[in-house]
């Protein structure tokens, strides 16, 4: 696997020979998809790959085994999010067929590995322990009482204004214009992560251009469009990509750009085009959308590879880490769009649609 994330990563040997993916469509939601498929899923690097999944998405299609799991309608769980509430998720139906929950599968695997001492509690007991620990951390026992009684608890006061007490998570406790480090996490119950000056981070407010999507980047002459990756109302990341009623309203992936960019390339609505850069390509139809400014285009997030004529939108993205928010910037991407030439880029074959996965009944 590639070494430290940098502009020039060093190659190091793969020490991990097997992997289990769960709770994420890794091959579809992470950037530089060609590198993921050609390196991480290469049998010379990972010899055995398993996915715990409900559907045959991009990740499942690349795995050796797929263990069918239950949906959120079949599990007792706990749900939080980008809001001040913690909610109980109650099972609505019994598991269908031979599906098992992630909890059951990992518990069974741990027992086979002689690690059953970590799985002596039930899911309900783990939920109660989590709520208890949150209530203690926030010094608010009412959270635990409300959750036990109502199945939902508010974690923050209704009228909370962040930092209203004037106490900042800085060494001085004040808002610092000169800061030897950058706090990227809030609220205080999360660990504050400070990036020191000696790692090359300037302590004063300043502008830094994007890693790639910038008009002064030499690549801009060859790839003059910034690719956006808008979240669609019809999906949550990649979830629901295969729901028939949603596909009636949103049937296929599209690349969108304004009428000026369409005219520059001699394109009309419905034309099949190739979106490409030096990392990969996506072949799909184009549509005019004047909401996007000049030198930009958009492919909605969440489509799977088999839903494109060839390639896929995550082939275009870069795995470069933006240290300001410690994630990859999926919109920091340069591309070009041209009419599709099927002789140059043939459509996806049946073999590529099928992948290599095998379904195993009954889980572990």
Domain of residue 273, CATH code: 2.40.40.20
CB-based contact 337:257 (threshold 8 Å): yes
Domain shared by 100 and 132, yes or no = yes
Q: Are residues 197 and 223 in the same domain?
A: no
Q: 7-43: string of b/e by CB count within 10 Å (b at 16+)?
A: eeeeeeeeeeeebbbeeebbbbbbbbbebbbebbbee
284, part of any domain? yes
Tokens 């009419």 locate to 339
**Would residue 166 be called left, alpha or beta, if left means φ above 0 and alpha means ψ between -120 and 50 degrees?**
left
- Whether residues 142 and 26 fall in one domain: yes
Q: Are residues 99 and 191 in the same domain?
A: no
Domain for residue 187, yes or no? yes
Same domain, 150 and 69: yes
Is residue 162 one of the residues assigned to a domain?
no
The per-residue DSSP string of 233-283 comes to TT-BTTBTTT-HHHHHHS-S-EEEE-HHHHHHTT--TT-EEEEE-SS-EEE
User: Tokens 């979240």 belong to which residue?
Assistant: 231
Statement to judge: residues 81 and 183 lie in one domain: no
- Tell me the mean pLDDT per 10 residues along the chain, length 364: 49 82 93 93 91 96 95 92 90 93 95 94 92 94 95 89 81 77 48 54 81 96 97 92 95 98 98 97 98 98 96 94 74 97 85 49 40
Are the beta carbons of 77 and 130 closer than 8 angstroms? no
Contacts of 23 (CB under 8 A, 6+ apart): 52, 102
Same domain, 249 and 130: no
Q: Is the pTM of this model over 0.85?
A: no
Contact 87, 150 (CB under 8 A): no
Q: Which of 58, 59, 47, 56 is nearest to 22 (CA)?
A: 59
Please report whether residue 139 resides in a domain. yes
Regarding whether 234 and 138 lie in a shared domain, the answer is no
Q: What is the pLDDT of residue 206?
A: 81
Question: Count of domains in the chain?
Answer: 3
For position 255, what pLDDT does the model report? 98
Query: Are both 111 and 188 inside the same structural domain?
Result: no
* 9 found inside a domain: no
51 vs 64: CA distance, rounded Å = 8
Residues 189, 279 share a domain: no
Report the CATH number at residue 147.
Answer: 3.40.50.740
d(CA 318, CA 277): 11
Do 101 and 125 share a domain, yes or no?
Answer: yes
In a domain, 326, yes or no: yes
Domain membership of residue 188 as a residue range: 176-206
Contact between residue 339 and residue 273 where contact means Cβ atoms under 8 Å apart: yes
In a domain, residue 95? The reply is yes
Structure tokens given for 359 = 């379904």
């Amino acid at each position: 696997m590639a070494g430290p994330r940098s502009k020039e990563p060093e190659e190091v040997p793969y020490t991990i020979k097997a992997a289990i993916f769960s709770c994420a469509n890794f091959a579809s939601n992470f950037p530089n998809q060609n590198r993921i498929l050609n390196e991480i899923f290469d049998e010379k690097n990972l010899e055995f790959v398993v996915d715990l999944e409900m559907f045959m998405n991009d990740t499942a299609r690349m795995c050796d085994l797929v263990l069918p799991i239950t949906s959120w309608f079949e599990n007792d769980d706990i749900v939080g999010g980008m809001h001040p509430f913690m909610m109980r998720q109650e099972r609505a139906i019994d598991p269908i067929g031979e599906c098992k929950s992630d909890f059951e599968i990992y518990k069974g695997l741990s027992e086979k590995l002689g690690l059953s001492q970590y799985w002596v509690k039930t899911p309900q007991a783990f939920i109660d322990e989590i709520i208890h620990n949150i209530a203690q951390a926030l010094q608010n026992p009412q959270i635990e009482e409300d959750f036990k009684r109502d199945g939902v608890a508010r974690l923050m006061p209704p009228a909370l204004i962040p930092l209203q007490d004037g106490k900042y998570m800085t060494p001085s406790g004040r808002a610092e214009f000169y800061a030897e480090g950058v706090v990227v996490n809030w609220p205080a119950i999360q660990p504050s992560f400070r990036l020191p000056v000696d790692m090359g981070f300037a302590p004063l407010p300043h502008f830094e251009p994007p890693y790639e999507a910038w008009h002064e980047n030499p690549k801009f002459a060859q790839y003059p469009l910034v690719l956006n990756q808008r979240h669609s109302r019809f999906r949550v990341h990649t979830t629901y990509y295969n729901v028939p009623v949603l596909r009636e309203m949103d049937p296929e992936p599209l690349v969108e750009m304004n009428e000026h960019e369409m005219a520059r390339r001699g394109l009309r609505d419905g034309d099949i085009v190739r979106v490409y850069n030096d990392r990969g390509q996506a072949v799909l139809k184009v549509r005019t959308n004047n909401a996007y400014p000049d030198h930009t285009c958009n492919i909605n997030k969440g489509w799977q590879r088999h839903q494109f004529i060839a390639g896929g939108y995550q082939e275009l993205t870069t795995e470069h880490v933006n240290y300001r928010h410690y994630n990859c910037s999926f919109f920091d991407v340069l591309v070009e769009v041209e009419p599709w030439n099927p002789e140059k880029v043939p459509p996806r074959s049946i073999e590529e649609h099928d992948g290599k996965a095998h379904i195993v009944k009954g889980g572990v």
